[in-house]
Amino acid sequence: MEAFDDILVNHVGEFGRAQKLYFFLVCLTAIPCAFHSFANTFISGSPKHHCRFEGALKYKDDAIECAIPWDSDKDEWSKCKEYKQYNITGFNSDSDFNCTSESDEETECRSGWLYDRKIYGETVVTEWDLVCDQNWMRQLGKSIVLLGKLIGSLVFGQLSDLFGRKKILLISLLLQITCGVLSSFSGSFPVFITFQFLLGCASSGVFLTAFVIVTEIVGPSWRTFIGITIEYFYTLGYIILTGVAYALRDWQNIELTLSLPGVLFLSYFWILPESPRWLMTKGRYEESVKILRNFAKTNKKSLPEDCLETLKAVKMKEHGAQTENIKALFFTSPTMRWKTILIGFNWLSNSMVYYGLAFHTESLGSNPYLAFFISGAVEVPAYILSQLLLKRLGRKRVICIFMSIGGVVLLSTTVIKDYKVPVLVFAMIGKLCITASYGIVYLYSAELYPTTVRNIGLGFSSICARVGGVSAPYILLIGDYTSIVMPLILFGAQSLLAGILILLLPETQNQNLPDNIKEADEYKLTVSKQCCARDSKPEEYRSVETKDTTM
């Protein structure tokens, strides 16, 4: 759609005052997306606990040693076992207090659990006793959101193409608000996870549509910049969530507080315009030109009188463009098939490690709020580093460097597993690295796939990412039965493997964007010695990154 980009560059402005305003407003919607993506870290937090025993009034009473066995493997009181026979007398009288264990035989908790309230208040776990044999349900609460994001990316992506970016953004926002509020009043765990699934769908719809809107209203040389910058707003939501969870503690209050402010975004019905690019593809030329004229006026530019005819000509050109289906990714050529498999594996690995490390902060250190805050804060230098290195080292090299370093660091936690602070530091270094690579892989994939299958390729990659994200909580479950660093080791191995395999793909920096699979096949699965020259095609066919927009 080079002619449309020419209009933006020459007559409207690639990233003028109008686009900056709309970009800022749309990016704000990424903040609640982060809220609902990671809220289960706190609302499904699992506090320390042990079996409720006779006479116990609060967690870890003085009589615990005669009722609860010591778990020497984990160096703590057993969470799920109690002695089958014990005797406590005079519990409320210091002089008459007596506690004896009458047998070393252990049994499952018979009277429920007592929870430590020092860190968490009421959580989903304490509300419905999702501990011991029910611990997998706590992880289900986390993974169900990511499963919803998978479905949401498929459904809302198609709907935004059919009915418009603005309309689907508003519907997604309304669904996000409604499900968030209703989730806070859930009376049972099945009801809770139902609304969490819908929240995942809505959040994916909001972020996906917001990302498409901001990329469609700016010129080609700014898309790399805005594609990464919107992630800063997502990180801001990540950090704000920490403060809300720390201040409120109880899961219902947290969920409600995170959801209600979204009502303000409904004002976008009157503020935001529809994407002029989408309007043009639907033949609504007059509406598209009207919005472009408003943009140009705000940017102190002027739109030519024949703009309407130009848009119609662009539409005719696009109408005749050949498109492919998902079969083309796997059955057209062996080269395209292996590219698809390798980039899909990279997306899966990035998502698995990213969400796994984010959720794992609950188990790292004595203060999960501080650990989560640091986990969010390290994303800022991660995005800055990725923007600084992209133009200097290329796409795949930067991804390889970050994923390999992150993988090695996470694997190294096996050596320091007995020291909580170093484990936390290494985990945060891993989080920084995986955040940086995750921020680049979208751009790299968009440049790797040819025009005829670019959207399909990115859609397949997104599915792989969601599969990785859904699996992350269950990898964390392994840590509950082995060691706190076992998930970090598994994440490290996954990251290192994906970082090495990415080297088999071709570099895309400063190379012409392929228009079809035949052109894409010319970029082999190893570094090509014949890098396309900058002037081998007209300017409009070059990579979208054409000027330095690093921060």
**Mean pLDDT per 10-residue run, the chain (551 residues)?**
70 90 93 92 89 74 80 81 77 63 80 88 92 86 88 82 88 96 94 95 89 82 79 92 94 95 94 87 84 90 73 55 63 82 93 89 78 89 86 86 94 82 88 90 77 70 87 85 86 94 82 63 52 37 37 37
Instruction: For residues 251 and 179, state if they share a domain.
Output: yes
Instruction: For residues 381 and 294, state if they share a domain.
Output: no
Note whether residue 196 is domain-resident: yes
How far is it, in rounded angstroms, from Cα 245 to Cα 43? 8
List strand residue ranges (DSSP E) for 15-118, in order: 49-51, 70-71, 76-77, 81-83, 86-89, 98-101, 106-108, 113-115
Instruction: For residues 501 and 533, state if they share a domain.
Output: yes
Bridge partners (DSSP) of residue 313 are: none
Q: How many angstroms from the chain centroid is the CA of residue 495?
A: 16
How far is it, in rounded angstroms, from Cα 365 to Cα 362? 8
Q: How many domains does the chain have?
A: 3
Instruction: For residues 165 and 256, state if they share a domain.
Output: yes
Q: Name the domain boundary from 321, 349, 370.
A: 321
The pLDDT assigned to 526 comes to 47
Phi, psi of 213 (to 5 degrees): -60, -50
How far is it, in rounded angstroms, from Cα 351 to Cα 353? 6
CATH number, domain containing residue 162: 1.20.1250.20
The pLDDT assigned to 536 comes to 39
Note whether residue 117 is domain-resident: no
Nearest alpha carbon to residue 265 among 204, 182, 174: 174
The pLDDT assigned to 538 comes to 37
How far is it, in rounded angstroms, from Cα 330 to Cα 360? 35
Note whether residue 116 is domain-resident: no
Note whether residue 400 is domain-resident: yes
Instruction: For residues 266 and 232, state if they share a domain.
Output: yes
21 is written with which tokens? 């305003």
Note whether residue 153 is domain-resident: yes
Domain extent at residue 450: 324-551
Note whether residue 122 is domain-resident: no
The pLDDT assigned to 541 comes to 36
Q: Name the domain boundary from 81, 111, 141.
A: 111
The pLDDT assigned to 176 comes to 96
Instruction: For residues 15 and 73, state if they share a domain.
Output: no
Size (the chain), residues: 551
Q: Name the domain boundary from 262, 287, 321.
A: 321
Instruction: For residues 136 and 22, state if they share a domain.
Output: yes
- List, in sequence order, the alpha helices (H) in 412-485: 420-448, 454-481
Instruction: For residues 282 and 336, state if they share a domain.
Output: no
Note whether residue 55 is domain-resident: yes
The pLDDT assigned to 433 comes to 93
Note whether residue 532 is domain-resident: yes
How far is it, in rounded angstroms, from Cα 485 to Cα 424? 10
Angle between helices 30-38 and 165-184 (to 10 degrees): 40
Instruction: For residues 286 and 364, state if they share a domain.
Output: no
Predicted TM-score (pTM) above 0.85: no
Terminal C-alpha separation, the chain: 27
Instruction: For residues 440 and 544, state if they share a domain.
Output: yes
Instruction: For residues 184 and 332, state if they share a domain.
Output: no
How far is it, in rounded angstroms, from Cα 370 to Cα 374? 6
Nearest alpha carbon to residue 207 among 263, 269, 126, 265: 265
Instruction: For residues 336 and 429, state if they share a domain.
Output: yes
